[in-house]
Amino acid sequence: MFKRVVITGIGAVTPVGNNLDDFWGNLTGGISGVGPITRFDTTGYSSKIAAEVKNFNPTDFIDRKEARRMDRFTHFAVAATTMAVENAGLDMNRINRARAGVILGSGVGGIETLEEQHRVLMDRGPGRVSPLFIPMMISNMASGRVAINYGLRGCNVTTTSACASSANALGDAFKVIQRGQADIMLSGGTEAPITPLAVAGFCSMKALSTRNDDPAGASRPFDIGRNGFVIAEGAVILVLEEMEHALARGADILAEITGYGASCDAYHITAPDPEGAGAVLSMRMALEDAGIKPDQVDYINAHGTSTLLGDKLETLAIKEVFGEHAGQLIISSTKSMTGHLLGAAGGLEAVVCALVIKKGLIPPTINLTNPDPECDLDYVPNNARRADVAVTLTNSFGFGGHNATLVIERFTAERNI
């Protein structure tokens, strides 16, 4: 008998808020977190905008000496985890640490440290490269640090599957608990990619929006004027628990994860399959895993990156999976406000699904002023919408053809499927 897996806590460090209340208030208020890049000089860059985390001080969560030994992506993860554990009301001194673990997703890990130490190497020679370079840079260090902070000895893994990373992390953590191998998993994603080299690379690919004169309007999923995604940073962490464990301690259960699908396009290093086949397979796998039919889904948080091909093909895939019900679905892309957190995007969007269920309010897709005729579903344009939502689905698709889908539902003591 599979265990049931519930969400009991959330922590968020994002471009639209560094705590859960601000994050949700700004999302549902249609507030964009995009602005001019402030972290480096963008002279010569085709894209000069990003969704940066603002007013974040790592020493609010981490000892100053230890903070200097961590990359920015780890700062975000530790801070978001601290808030998630508090939000869940978990007393970490009373849990079985051998049955608690961490699975986080990150697409690029400590790229800021990598760039900084490469400059040291070039300017000052190999003897001046920091002995902390490798421990700060490697992608698994965020999950390692979180486990060290709480003494968690269970499964500890980092998933790296580009923009599907944290959706895969959550799916894998869900399965660890479902199999009975853990009582608690801290899972989600973290990313800090707003660096000179990373942004230059995405610019060279022509992947980023160049709407530099209108940062707040640059991320416009499903709009005919979209011209690329907006790079973003941050971390979102969820506390996942085995249902009986959560009930026994009187936890406030926010939602339940019931299905996970993962697939690969096996088509191209960056372009999505032109038929949306991998996305279709991922969504169908997640629905089957959850034991629900397509017409039971109320809301989809779309991958919706604001790229020309991506938004069109996600729409095509949704129509293929949901058939006539696609026209009744409520869909939105919160990347229109948060930008694209790359490997942390799936975690953020899973949180949106849980809060939509809990709050009965759908965040909008802002900047949707001139819908693409090929993107003709209900994307909740520009204003939040009240709705009673019981079953949600979230998609994450990444370079390399990685696809991940999660089904998140309203928690009921007896789940009837």
CA–CA separation, 51 and 30 (whole Å) = 14
CA–CA separation, 286 and 52 (whole Å) = 32
Tokens 């673990």 belong to which residue?
A: 101
> Tokens for 417?
């499927």
CA–CA separation, 341 and 73 (whole Å) = 11
> Tokens for 222?
């499903």
Which residue numbers are catalytic? 163
Q: CA 259 → CA 5, 17, 362, 393, distances in Å?
A: 10, 28, 21, 9
Phi-psi region of 127 (alpha: psi -120 to 50; beta: other; left: phi over 0): alpha
240 bridge partner residues: 7, 185
Is the Cα torsion angle 404, 398, 111, 340 positive or negative in sign?
negative
Q: Degrees (nearest 5) of the Cα angle 187, 413, 2?
A: 55
CB atoms < 10 A from the CB of 38, how many?
A: 11
What stretch of H or E contains 321?
Answer: helix 308-322
Tokens 């992947």 belong to which residue?
A: 207
